[in-house]
Structure 1
């Protein structure tokens, strides 16, 4: 039986085909929304008078919100930390939803985190573990030298991605190294995970139980969606878990972990720790150092066994004593007694003491009379202890970098 004849040709069908083709071409030319390049200068908008005061006010509001979210309670913290940074180098890190890519942004922020970590925790140590293709590799051992870790991250072979990560292997590698650290130190693991899957050789919940028994705190930062096993790890080990929304949020989540965590009630009681303050020596001829086993000029001499080391802080390889300098203890001390939050002064306050900032001596803005500008926050903040006034920039500098109030120090 012959096949039925084709339907008669009509011009309407031809028009429909052309319209669909135009839609597809238009979509290809426009591209997807998340693939478009964002220009930050397009966000700035002038008001009716051609001024950018509203934009500046918005930025100040964000800074004030960040200042108010800061925790200044006097609580017990572990200032001697042993932290392993776990980096996901799977194929999922090649995605470009975070510019320029997940991998490039993670490595850049990891270098900044390492520098800030040792600046705020000079008597602590850090190590790096990478996981890819179902295995975990210890990139650097626990040490107090930030340049060693940054140098390892910049090597080309340590930036290559492959396969899927293994969360259990990475955690077990960190646990085996942290099991030998002193009990007075805080044991922590920070995982930067960009994959939704993990290739584990066994039951990861057994690893979580070992973490709980050995009191190792594990925090996770996810670059995609929320993963239940990551949240379980963070919850069971008293860590934190967050999912990145954008590039600035990624940095905020990461740098929140620079501050030492609070000591939990289940932690062991604090004990005295023996520390030595070595003296610096200069030599005309090189001598053997105990940290690198190489002849070097100069260094520090351990006060207990007279062994020479190259840099501080470190642990003496001969007697095991912790060797530090007095500035290192001073920079760790401020975490235990942080500066109290400054109180915002209302616009209607007046007086001679409100003319200039006590920190930078810059003049305060004139209080607005009416209009939209009168609704924005004041730029004056008062220390609750010494009663001096500071601008917003000095407030942030005092709490984030200086960690001492100039007015209180002057008294």
Structure 2
């Protein structure tokens, strides 16, 4: 049951965060192991003692080399932690690297879980049932509004479409059309993706637009009357910037799917 929820979370995360990255790890018998294949991770069983400290240390070592927004999501059914050392040092490192830690504890709340999440600006959840667990995961898949004033530049590439047969470097499969990496000319079959050769992030303008409007969400429309700009039906809401009218259906589509106003200049 939980494996299906986690599999759906991975799919939704990449759908909602096209230019973000997701690394999956598991702690078995106090040892952190990173999995590159989602299916391999979900098919593994928890064994031995759980070490939250080792899990956090390994995650920090991986995340500290990146400059963008970083979060750790811990999902655990364990109420017993086998950590002989203090969490004081790892908390200092988490804060200095601006890494937020969120914890979903399936069996109950521990004081150390609460201390870690509150100290790093994260959240602690104890799901009541499977539906509640799915709702919590769904919220983590959707990026939050950008509140930091710090700006980091990320190198991106916009590959052009090429209509020719070729074997993609990402899946090693034959395709009738694909994309060409602007940096190393590698043939790939899909975007967004990290180029398998030069490792630069390759995206489309739609991916950038979707990520941008998640960070700066569209404000709710105010009440208004008139004819809907999109479909011509009776409208009941108005954009504060461009003052155009939208009906309820088009309003929902703009805010839930597009995340930007169709008639605003910006």
Deviating 4+ runs (over 6 angstroms): 356-363
Match of 2:214 in 1: 335
In 2, distance between residues paired with 1:193 and 1:243? 10
The CA deviation string for residues 95-138 of structure 1, in whole angstroms up to 9 with x for no partner, is: xxxxxxxxx2x322222222221111101111111223333221
In 2, distance between residues paired with 1:381 and 1:174? 48
Indicate the SS of the match to 1:126. Answer: coil
Q: 1:251: how far off?
A: 2.8
Contact persistence 1:342–1:381 (CA under 8 A): no
Structure 2 gaps of 5+ residues are none
Specify which structure has the higher proportion of helix.
1
Contact persistence 1:168–1:201 (CA under 8 A): no
Question: Which of 86, 91, 98 pairs up with 1:203?
Answer: 86
Question: Which of 236, 255, 263 pairs up with 2:138?
Answer: 255
The CA deviation string for residues 70-113 of structure 1, in whole angstroms up to 9 with x for no partner, is: xxxxxxxxxxxxxxxxxxxxxxxxxxxxxxxxxx2x32222222
Query: Greater CA radius of gyration, 1 or 2?
Result: 1
| 1:315–1:223 Cα change, 3 Å | same
In 2, distance between residues paired with 1:287 and 1:114? 26
Aligned residue-pair number: 262
TM-score by length of 1: 0.54
Q: 1:396: how far off?
A: 4.7
Structure 1 gaps of 5+ residues are 1-103, 141-147, 346-350, 364-379
In 2, distance between residues paired with 1:122 and 1:262? 16
In 2, distance between residues paired with 1:360 and 1:227? 53
Contact persistence 1:305–1:319 (CA under 8 A): yes
TM-score by length of 2: 0.79
The CA deviation string for residues 42-69 of structure 1, in whole angstroms up to 9 with x for no partner, is: xxxxxxxxxxxxxxxxxxxxxxxxxxxx
Question: Which of 167, 183, 191 pairs up with 2:52?
Answer: 167
| 1:336–1:178 Cα change, 3 Å | closer
Summarize the alignment of residues 351-370 of structure 1 with structure 2, pairs less than 5 Å apart: 353=226
| 1:343–1:172 Cα change, 3 Å | same
Summarize the alignment of residues 15-164 of structure 1 with structure 2, pairs less than 5 Å apart: 104=1, 106-140=2-36, 149=38, 151-153=39-41, 155=43, 158=44, 160-164=45-49
| 1:201–1:263 Cα change, 3 Å | farther
Q: 1:381: how far off?
A: 5.6
